[in-house]
Amino acid sequence: MGFRKKNKSPPVLSHEFVIQNHADMVSCLAMIILLGLMFEVTAKFAIMFITVQYNVTQVLDEKSEPVNLYQYGPKDVATVFFYLLIAVILHALIQEYILDKMNRRLHLSKTKHSKFNESGQLAAFYLFSFIWGCSILTAEDFATNPTFLWEGYPHSHMVFQVKFFYICQIAYWLHALPELYFQKVRKEDIPRQLYYICLYVVHITGAYVLNLHRLGLVLLVPHYLVELLFHASRLFYFSDENKQKGFTLWALLFVIARLLTLTLSVLTFGFGLPRTENQGFSLAEGNFNVLTVRMTCLAAICLTQAWMMWKFINFQLKKWREHSQNQASKKKTVSPKSKPHKREPTRGGTANGVVKSEDKTSPRARKAKAS
């Protein structure tokens, strides 16, 4: 991990050296880009990495002041790269100063340790993104006017908050790919994490490039809320295994979020966009309102939701089997033990091979009686 003090330093540029000092290396690279602002020769290139590009000034009304809006373009790759570096640094800070300290107190196993770190990082990101997304949606007033998802398409112009939100989202999920190496993620966990990282990158980038950022933002906010609840519940579960009520609420909200995602997607691609005035395909205008693109996007969303539901059902069945097995084992331990049967006396009054006489008189009495 970055920012850690090690007694024995590994060889320079070895795998262990890069893993231990990756945050320091990334910090140096980010500082070099920031120092580029100090010189006139390099300032033009440094600004391209740090600030949001492609701003357009528009005047909505004659009486109103001009508004700064933004489009997307190739220079956004440089901006995404810079904030990817920032994400790596923040990841290392959260790991070093929060999660590692909690791990030392909990004394978790290796498997739980890896899951605890994953949930801790994702819970922090989901919480920040959920609050940020809610603030943007509140300004857009989506609750009273859901038709803004498709009205006026193509939505080629964005306010600063929306564009910066998407830049940070793409940068974060791209930074998660090298973190698989930096965090020494177990081989059996890599495919699972790669699946959801790639799905996030493809869907968020697709919404950004196809000018569907309104729909993407509306779908991300409830999804992030559900994921935040899951990872927060898992953190509480690792601290105390009796705290499992959060998973019940998560299961309910997970199904609701999937239905909401499918409903809004069908409503937008099946009914809203086909009825807008701007129909056609134009890269210059950013218009992708054609049947092929709409059906491709709708199919991608539906398949993703179906895959998530399949994983969810398998997860619930696995938990149900484990619970039933635990209940069965508890019943076996609680059931009373069978009582031992009394041994019946053998014929002839013998017990353990010894013949017992039924006459309880003494030997002298028996002699006198015989005489």
Q: What is the mean pLDDT of each run of 10 residues along the chain (371 residues)?
A: 58 83 94 94 93 86 77 95 97 94 86 90 97 90 79 91 96 96 90 95 97 95 96 90 84 96 95 91 92 96 96 89 78 59 48 47 54 46
Q: Count Cβ atoms within 10 A of the Cβ of residue 87 and give its class: 0-12 exposed, 13-18 middle, 19 or more buried.
A: buried
Pairing of strands 55-58, 67-70: antiparallel
Q: Count Cβ atoms within 10 A of the Cβ of residue 343 and give its class: 0-12 exposed, 13-18 middle, 19 or more buried.
A: exposed
Start-to-end C-alpha separation, the chain = 106
The per-residue pLDDT for 334 is: 62
What pTM was computed for the model? 0.84
The per-residue pLDDT for 325 is: 81
Judge whether 94 and 124 are in contact, CB under 8 Å: yes
Distance CA 103, CA 116 (A): 8
The per-residue pLDDT for 136 is: 93
Q: Count Cβ atoms within 10 A of the Cβ of residue 31 and give its class: 0-12 exposed, 13-18 middle, 19 or more buried.
A: exposed
Q: Render the burial of 293-313: b for 16+ CB within 10 Å, e for the rest.
A: bbeebbeebeebbeebeeeee
The dihedral through the CA atoms of 254, 260, 263, 265 has a sign that is negative
- Residue 174 has a CB neighbour count (10 Å cut-off) of 18
Q: HSE-up of 27 (CA within 13 Å, CB side)?
A: 11
Preceding omega of 154 cis (within 30 degrees of 0): yes
Residues written for the chain: 371
Distance CA 347, CA 330 (A): 44
The per-residue pLDDT for 1 is: 46
The per-residue pLDDT for 227 is: 96
**Closest listed residue to residue 225, CA positions, set 264, 254, 259:** 254
Distance CA 85, CA 175 (A): 8
